[in-house]
């Protein structure tokens, strides 16, 4: 009788241990998947004339571009739930194009040069953008489409 | 009957323990390439382990070139190039992709392609003519 009880107790303990280890393993995997899910980060720094192209389509997209040079050009395309783009350019002719499509879009452009051109296109629920241009010839353009209100301006 | 119950318990316990050990024991591949001189040769690296890491340093030469392709769960690349016309191409497919490219020379060209859940790419270029393309895609 004693042996039988010991055997049953051993089996129950083993099953409980197995289930607890399996549960802990599943929880760990779930948490890690959530924390590491769908994030794109791109940082580009250039010193000299050049062009940058960034295309991101994660859930959260972050792009930062810093350019110093004669003629610099930057193009950023982001499609995701949350998009953040930042461009800082210094040069003779600076061109920046940002296109964002998603729930929350944030774009920031700062340009210093003789000719500064900036174009921002945003389609989403909450769109925010800042363009700062310090140049002889400046051309800023912002196009927005608010999905929530169904209007554009 | 008693023996079979004990055996069952032992099998259950061993199965419970074998799962996490098997998941954590992944393959790791690490490669480092360092080149100095006027005759720097092109570097081509392809990795397909669970964790992949590459470090490339090229100093000198007219056309330092590096191409890295990684397909694994976690992929890491670091490339530093100093020379005439520097060129770096990185392709990463996995859950986590991290890459860094630093270039200095007459012309600097960098192309990063990343497909994964967590993609991070950094490009620093110091050249007369610079060109960089970063494409990050969620699968």
User: Which residue, B75, B123, B113, is CA-closest to B96?
Assistant: B75
Distance from CA of B100 to the nearest CA of A (A): 9
Q: Do A40 and B10 touch (CB under 8 A)?
A: no
Span between the terminal Cα atoms of chain B, in Å = 51
Q: Distance, in angstroms, between B26 CA and closest chain A CA?
A: 15
B36-51 as b/e, with b when 16 or more CB fall inside 10 Å? eeeebeebebebebeb
Q: Which of B74, B105, B125 to mutate to test the interface with A (most CBs of A within 10 A)?
A: B125
Confidence (pLDDT) at B15: 37
Which residue shows structure tokens 């005439």?
A: B84
State whether A39 and B15 contact (CB < 8 Å): no
Burial code of A125-150, b = ≥16 C-beta within 10 A, e = fewer? eebebebebebeebebebebeeeeee
Q: Give φ, ψ of B49 to 5 degrees.
A: -85, 180
Strands annotated E in chain A: 39-56, 60-68, 71-146, 151-152
The residue behind tokens 């967590």 is B118
B63 vs B3, residue with greater confidence: B63
Question: Per-residue pLDDT tens for A94-131?
Answer: 999 999 999 999 999 999 999 999 999 999 988 999 99
Distance from CA of A70 to the nearest CA of B (A): 9
Helix (H, G, I), strand (E, B) or coil at B105: strand
pLDDT score of A34: 34
Low-confidence winner among A31-40, A120-129, A140-149 (lowest mean pLDDT)? A31-40
pTM of the prediction? 0.73
> Within the 34-93 window of chain B, which residues sit less than 8 Å (CB to CB) from chain A?
none
Closest CA to B44 of B56, B52, B29, B53: B56
* Cβ-based contacts of B23 with chain A (< 8 Å): 25
pLDDT single digits (tens) B17-63: 333 333 333 599 999 999 999 889 999 999 999 999 999 999 988 89
B18 touches chain A (CB under 8 A): no
The predicted structure's pLDDT at residue B11: 39
Which runs of consecutive H residues, i.e. helices, occur in chain A?
2-35
SS3 (DSSP) at B10:
helix
The predicted structure's pLDDT at residue B78: 96
Distance, CA of A42 to CA of A50 (rounded, Å): 17
* % of chain B exceeding 90 in pLDDT: 71
Instruction: State the pLDDT confidence band at A148, using cuts at 50, 70 and 90.
Output: low
Q: Tell me what pLDDT residue A70 has.
A: 87
pLDDT the model gives residue A18 = 38
Distance from CA of B9 to the nearest CA of A (A): 5
Which pLDDT score is estimated for B138?
A: 84
Q: What is the arithmetic mean of pLDDT over B76-90?
A: 95
Indicate the SS3 state at residue B64.
Answer: coil
Q: What is the b/e burial string over A28-55, where b = at least 16 CB atoms within 10 angstroms of the residue's CB?
A: eeeeeeeeeebbbbbbbbbbbbbbbbbb
Sign of the Cα pseudo-torsion (A72, A89, B68, B114, in order): negative
Q: Do residues B112 and B98 lie in contact, with contact meaning Cβ atoms separated by under 8 Å?
A: no
> Nearest by CB to B126, which of A11, A37, A47?
A47
């Amino acid at each position: 009788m004693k042996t039988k009880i010991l055997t049953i107790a051993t089996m129950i303990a083993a099953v409980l241990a197995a289930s607890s280890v399996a549960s802990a393993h599943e929880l760990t995997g779930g948490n890690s998947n959530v924390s590491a899910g769908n994030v794109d980060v791109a940082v580009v720094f250039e010193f000299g004339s050049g062009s940058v192209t960034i295309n991101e389509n994660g859930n959260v997209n972050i792009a930062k571009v810093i350019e110093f040079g004669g003629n610099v050009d930057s193009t950023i395309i982001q499609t995701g739930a949350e998009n953040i783009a930042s461009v800082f350019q210094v040069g003779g002719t600076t061109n920046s194009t940002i296109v964002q499509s998603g729930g929350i879009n944030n774009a920031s452009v700062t340009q210093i040069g003789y000719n500064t051109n900036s174009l921002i296109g945003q389609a989403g629920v909450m769109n925010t953008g800042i363009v700062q241009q310090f140049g002889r010839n400046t051309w800023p353009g912002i196009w927005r489409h608010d999905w929530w209100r169904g209007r554009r301006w | 009957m008693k023996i079979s119950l004990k055996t069952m318990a032992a099998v259950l316990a061993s199965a419970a323990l074998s799962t996490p050990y098997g998941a954590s024991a992944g393959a790791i591949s690490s490669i480092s390439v360092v080149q100095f001189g006027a005759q720097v040769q092109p570097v081509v690296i392809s990795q397909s382990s669970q964790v992949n890491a590459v470090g490339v340093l090229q100093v000198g030469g007219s056309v330092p070139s590096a191409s890295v392709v990684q397909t694994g769960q976690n992929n890491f690349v670091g490339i530093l190039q100093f020379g005439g016309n520097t060129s770096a191409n990185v392709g990463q497919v996995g859950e986590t992709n991290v890459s860094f490219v630093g270039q200095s020379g007459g012309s600097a060209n960098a192309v990063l392609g990343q497909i994964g859940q967590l993609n991070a790419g950094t490009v620093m270029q110091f050249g007369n003519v610079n060109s960089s393309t970063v494409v990050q895609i969620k699968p």
